[in-house]
Amino acid sequence: MKQLGKSGKAAAQLLLLTALTVTAAACSGGDAPGASKPERTPGMTESAGSGNSGADTGSADAGNTDDGEDAGQRLLPGEKFDPAITMTTARWVSGSFAFRDGEDIANNVHTDWMREEMGINLDTLWSVQEGDNYITKLRLALSAGEPLPDVLVVGDMQLASELIDSGLVQPIGDVFDAHASDIVKAAYNRDPSIWYPVYKDGDYYGLPIIAAGDHNDNVLYIRNDWLDAVGLDAPSTIAEMETVMEAFKTQDPDGNGKDDTYGFSFSLGSNVGRGDANMIYGAFGAIPGIWMKQDDGSLVYGSTLPEIKPALAKLKEWKEKGYLHPESGIYDRQKTYELFNSGRAGMIAGEVWLPVYPLPNLAQNVPGAEYDVIPAPTGPDGSAARWGKPFNAGVVLVNKDFEHPEALILYLNNLFEYWNADNPKYENGYFQGYDYDIIDGKVVNGSDIPGGQISVHHYFLYNSQRPIAPYQYQDTLTALYEGKAPETAFERYSYSLGEMYLKAGAVAKSQRDINVYDYGIGLTDTMKTRWDRLQQMESETFVKIIYGELPLDEFDRFVEKWKAEGGDKITQEMNDWYDEVNS
């Protein structure tokens, strides 16, 4: 088997560790969450502790040691439980995910790997399709008094908060300190705010799941063949965007002789991803739906800032001119990209990964259609802003009665071993025949793998996330787009997904400094009883203003009502909480 030279893997690890330790890029309205660190965060201790919490482990060389520490006392990669232990869990699976023949979420290459490499028998007590069904089933199980699995992945932070408050889960901070590898500790210290949702009474009740937030930053996708048809260049400002939308609406860019095209496809009520309008609001100076950090360090809810009002006025104008589909107010994310992929809309905002899914459907539905990726537009004052997506994708909670919480850390250490330059085990990927293969002595990825490539992170006890450092996606995609030859497994996989995907990452990185982050991680006491109502009021008010069913000045009355009906109290609680975790 052809092996990568250590220089290639070493460069990858250096890039990872550099990304983990540098300060986050400055963003509009404040720096990235975690710039102010709690007094004590797991993994920040000078010594990783001693012992292995009573686990009977083997003594194989770990390949990942810490200077000045006895690696034999820690559950590093290469060590395993002997005899093997059983760890129970519950899972959800995306309905679109296809397993290899004969596999399911309970029995697959990943569960085999855990058993063989770590001595952990993963027992899936139950599973469902899709995350919403998972949350529903979990709540029903809890209300029926059923015991929790040993480890539980929870993406719903309200439910996670309730479980932590219930006393059913155990703290994980000391276990993390004792057993996490260097690479894992570096990843988890990159942004201490990821620990905030599990912080309670001076300890940490769960393992945060690090998300590739930069993979979800928004860029603007545009039909460049339509631009050619109407004789315009790609827009860089809101004003230019209006000119393009007017042409897309009125000049029959698809040439079918019908008045059936729209300028922009997005959901008026969405602030989460595909079809997202946050960059339009951001061009006017505020991002709705998030807790923004002000110059004085306090938190404020973005939807209540005065800058939202002119953004609503602009969206109302676009709606009146027919640039937006009449049903945008009730569109979900699926509908937004269906409109774009059907060839009826000229622009859509969305994540870096849209060229992988779902935008390939455009070429299938509209032969000859072409699109490009461009930066978020600037507003009247020349500035741009977008929601900087979080690096937290939920938590893994540990049942208070589970006797081997260190098993979860051993598992995490092995997941992150992918980035260890000194360990060739994962130099090509995790599982041969799934995320890579070797044919005639050559490593292949993507469609060259017999049976197709499997996104193995869907197997992981990590909320279907790929273990990766913050900003690693954009940095890697940019380097590849600019001509770097793919050397590592991650680079080869990314490169196989196509030039437009690489360009999306590069465009997103070029605007990293416009990211505005959500500092309001977690739920306050008043939010648990008032937040749903306030969210509904916000959505209804904004949509009705845009549709012309309410006057623009209704925004001012919304802000007053929002504050009076719990918003002011929530704002105070949010700031008290933020001060506490940063004290």
Residue 283 has what pLDDT? 97
Question: Per-residue pLDDT averaged across 461-475, rounded?
Answer: 83
Residue 75 has what pLDDT? 92
* 121 three-state secondary structure: strand
pLDDT class for 574, splitting at 50, 70, 90? Answer: very high
Could you give the percent of the chain with pLDDT greater than 90? 64
pLDDT class for 24, splitting at 50, 70, 90? Answer: very low
Question: Per-residue pLDDT averaged across 79-98, rounded?
Answer: 93
pLDDT class for 161, splitting at 50, 70, 90? Answer: confident
Q: What residue has token string 């952990």? A: 120
Domains along the chain with CATH numbers: 37-211+392-470 (3.40.190.10), 218-388+523-581 (3.40.190.10)
Across-strand partners of 515? 386
Residue 56 has what pLDDT? 33
Rounded mean pLDDT of the chain? 86
Question: Per-residue pLDDT averaged across 119-141, rounded?
Answer: 92
Q: Is the pLDDT of residue 583 over 80?
A: no
520-568 tens-digit pLDDT: 866 789 998 999 999 999 999 999 999 999 999 999 999 999 999 999 9
- What phi and psi values does residue 120 have, to the nearest 5 degrees? -120, 120
Q: What is the CA radius of gyration of the chain?
A: 24
Residue 16 has what pLDDT? 42
Separation of alpha carbons 229 and 223, rounded Å? 10
Separation of alpha carbons 517 and 29, rounded Å? 8
Residue 220 has what pLDDT? 97
Kindly state the helix (H) or strand (E) to which residue 134 belongs, with its residue range.
Answer: helix 131-143
Residue 321 has what pLDDT? 98
- Closest C-alpha to 555, from 319, 385, 267, 315: 315
Residue 269 has what pLDDT? 60
Q: Is the pLDDT of residue 175 over 50?
A: yes
Lowest-confidence region among 130-139, 189-198, 213-222, 370-379: 189-198
Question: Per-residue pLDDT averaged across 364-380, rounded?
Answer: 98
- Please state whether beta strands 372-374 and 218-222 pair in parallel, antiparallel, or not at all (unpaired): antiparallel
Residue 39 has what pLDDT? 44
Kindly state the helix (H) or strand (E) to which residue 373 belongs, with its residue range.
Answer: strand 372-374
Kindly state the helix (H) or strand (E) to which residue 349 belongs, with its residue range.
Answer: strand 347-351
Could you give the percent of the chain with pLDDT greater than 70? 86
Asked whether 110 and 459 are in contact (CB, 8 A), the reply is: yes
270-306 tens-digit pLDDT: 554 445 789 999 999 999 999 999 999 999 999 999 9
Q: Is the pLDDT of residue 58 over 90?
A: no
* 17 three-state secondary structure: helix
Structure tokens at 460: 């992981």
240-271 tens-digit pLDDT: 999 999 999 999 999 999 999 999 998 876 55
Separation of alpha carbons 226 and 235, rounded Å? 13
Q: Is the pLDDT of residue 405 over 80?
A: yes
Separation of alpha carbons 574 and 288, rounded Å? 16
* 436 three-state secondary structure: strand
Residue 41 has what pLDDT? 58
Alpha carbon of 20 to those of 184, 186, 188, 455, 469: distances in Å?
A: 10, 6, 8, 24, 6
Residue 480 has what pLDDT? 98
Distant-in-sequence, close-in-space partners of 295: CB < 8 Å, separation ≥ 6: 30
Q: Is the pLDDT of residue 158 over 90?
A: no
Counting every residue written for the chain, the total comes to 583
Q: Is the pLDDT of residue 464 over 70?
A: yes
Distant-in-sequence, close-in-space partners of 140: CB < 8 Å, separation ≥ 6: none
Structure tokens at 226: 């339509």
Q: Pick from 52-61, 198-207, 503-512 the range whose average pLDDT is largest.
A: 503-512
Q: Is the pLDDT of residue 28 over 60?
A: no
pLDDT class for 386, splitting at 50, 70, 90? Answer: very high
Alpha carbon of 581 to those of 165, 196, 503: distances in Å?
A: 17, 7, 37
Separation of alpha carbons 82 and 84, rounded Å? 5
Asked whether 512 and 478 are in contact (CB, 8 A), the reply is: no
Lowest-confidence region among 62-71, 258-267, 386-395, 416-425: 62-71
pLDDT, greater one: 521 or 206: 206
Q: Is the pLDDT of residue 212 over 90?
A: no
pLDDT, greater one: 492 or 30: 492
